[in-house]
Amino acid sequence: MSEKPEQDPRQPKKPYRKPELKQVPLRPEEAVLGFCKNKNTKGPGVGSCRRPVACYRQGS
Amino acid sequence: MTVEFSKENGLTSDRTVIKIADIDFSITSADPDLKIHIQETSKDFVTYGANSEITMEARWGDISTMELKGQKLFESDAVWQLFQKNGFYLFSFTSRALGPVPYKVAQIQKDLTRGEVFLHRPYFNQDVLIYPLAFPLDELLCIHYLALGRGAEIHACGVIDSLGKGHMFVGQSGEGKTTMGRLWQNEPACTVLSDDRIILRRTGKELWMYGTPWHGEAGLASSARAPLTQIYFLQSNKKNEIVQLDTTEAMARLISCSFLPFYNPEAMEFTLGFFEEVTGAVPCYELKFFPDKKVIEFIKNLKN
């Protein structure tokens, strides 16, 4: 049996806040290291890439 | 061991150790004609320690003859896929520009401490310089290793101000990380840790932000670290405005700008707890900013 912890009477009760839904944008292609947009390096992640030699980073 | 360095070509050797966020990665070549090449912008991270937490050995191979089938854990819909097989992780990297055979496969112990990287020989010219952990393998290793209770990598620009305080400017592509890095770049006694990737770790009671070699378009990368004191979620604007965020919103936004192994429940459990700790420990703001130097004074004048 679990008992609900008693509220400390010295602590003021938190005011009620109506739940609200907020959307946070997620960019899946960025989150999974899905592309390299560095124009200065060749790499397997970019369309113009021909040799997998120097893809060091993803774009900002 | 042979080590050569030139500004044009970077660092080339048979064995290289890189320290990122106090984690030593060693990369050794198993083939005499495979020289490990480190890009010039990463030289600040090269170290010479004998012991490494993560040891990777690179070799040439014919990947077309390798048996890669295993349980697929993740499909990035880009260059890499993750499998598990016989207790190992298998990261496979394929480029449509090269052909159907993966150009690289990394077989790694699940604790991420040891592994082998196979480079598909026919795809590589004899004369090219190779960094076997090239994007995204080095970051994938780091992300997975951190997620085993050690920290997290954030899509952020990090700055150490003249008082030694760490400011982390978080945002997705195009939200101003590189712009912010460039604004701070020449500030007296300030260091930009990275204009694109920051690692957060806890040591004892202190939360630290670390620079990484994975820079943005400004090319700013430092191996330094600083105690994390503020987090800002960036948004460009016509004037500078700031709003403090509650922990819940800050945490959600931090998750959306992080690099996480979403397919690993234990790793996600750790990371969510870690982010709760981070967003509860330091003030988190939404920073709408106009991209000029005034934003630096604006930040310095904030009262916490």
B147 domain-assigned: no
Q: B139 to chain A: nearest residue by CA?
A: A33
Here the tokens at position A39 are 């124009």
Residue B280: which pLDDT band, with cuts at 50, 70 and 90? very high
In one-letter notation, the amino acid at residue B206 is E
Phi, psi (5° rounding) for residue A28? -55, -40
Q: Are residues B138 and B172 in the same domain?
A: no
CB-based contact A53 B41, cutoff 8 Å = no
B186: burial class by Cβ within 10 Å (0-12, 13-18, 19+)?
A: exposed
DSSP letter for B117, please.
E
Position A14 scores a pLDDT of 81
A14 domain-assigned: no
Here the tokens at position B87 are 């207790």
What tens digit of pLDDT does each residue of B173-226 get?
999 999 999 999 999 999 999 999 999 999 999 999 999 999 999 999 999 999
Query: Which residues form the domain of B78?
Result: 3-142
Q: Are residues B128 and B230 in the same domain?
A: no
Here the tokens at position B214 are 């994975």
Q: Which of B78, B134, B260 sits opposite A35 (nearest CB)?
A: B78
Its pTM surpasses 0.80: yes
Residue to test with chain A: of B79, B93, B284, most A Cβ within 10 A? B79
- Nearest in space to B122 (alpha carbons), one of B61, B65, B79: B61
The answer to whether the CB of B65 falls within 8 A of the CB of B42 is no
Query: Which residues form the domain of A59?
Result: 27-60
Q: For residue B239, what is the domain's CATH number?
A: 3.90.228.20
A1 domain-assigned: no
B163: burial class by Cβ within 10 Å (0-12, 13-18, 19+)?
A: exposed
Segment B159-174 mean pLDDT? 97
Q: Which of B103, B143, B262 sits opposite A52 (nearest CB)?
A: B103
CB-based contact B78 A33, cutoff 8 Å = yes
Domain count, chain A: 1
Q: Are residues B106 and B196 in the same domain?
A: no
B168 domain-assigned: yes
Question: Distance, in angstroms, between B186 CA and closest chain A CA?
Answer: 20
Residue to test with chain B: of A14, A17, A57, most B Cβ within 10 A? A57
A19 domain-assigned: no
State the Cα torsion A29-A31-A34-A37 to the nearest 10°.
80
Q: Which of B79, B98, B215 sits opposite A57 (nearest CB)?
A: B215
- Nearest in space to B102 (alpha carbons), one of B86, B83, B123: B123
CB-based contact A24 B255, cutoff 8 Å = yes
Q: Is the ipTM of this complex over 0.85?
A: no
State the Cα torsion B221-B224-B230-B236 to the nearest 10°.
-10
The answer to whether the CB of B15 falls within 8 A of the CB of B29 is yes
Segment B46-75 mean pLDDT? 91
In one-letter notation, the amino acid at residue B165 is K
Q: Please state the length of chain B.
A: 304
Q: Are residues B67 and B181 in the same domain?
A: no
pLDDT for residue A53 is more than 80:
no
CB-based contact B214 A37, cutoff 8 Å = no
- Nearest in space to B184 (alpha carbons), one of B175, B173, B195: B195
Residue listed under structure tokens 């670290």: B225
The answer to whether the CB of B166 falls within 8 A of the CB of B226 is yes
Return the SS3 of B182: helix
CB-based contact B95 A45, cutoff 8 Å = yes
**In sequence order, what are the beta bridge partners of A35?**
none
Domain count, chain B: 2
Domain edge (last residue) among B121, B142, B163: B142
Cα–Cα distance for residue pair B24/B46, rounded to 1 Å: 9
Q: Which residue has the higher pLDDT, A42 or B280?
A: B280
Question: Distance, in angstroms, between B50 CA and closest chain A CA?
Answer: 25
Q: B9 to chain A: nearest residue by CA?
A: A54
Cα–Cα distance for residue pair B297/B119, rounded to 1 Å: 49
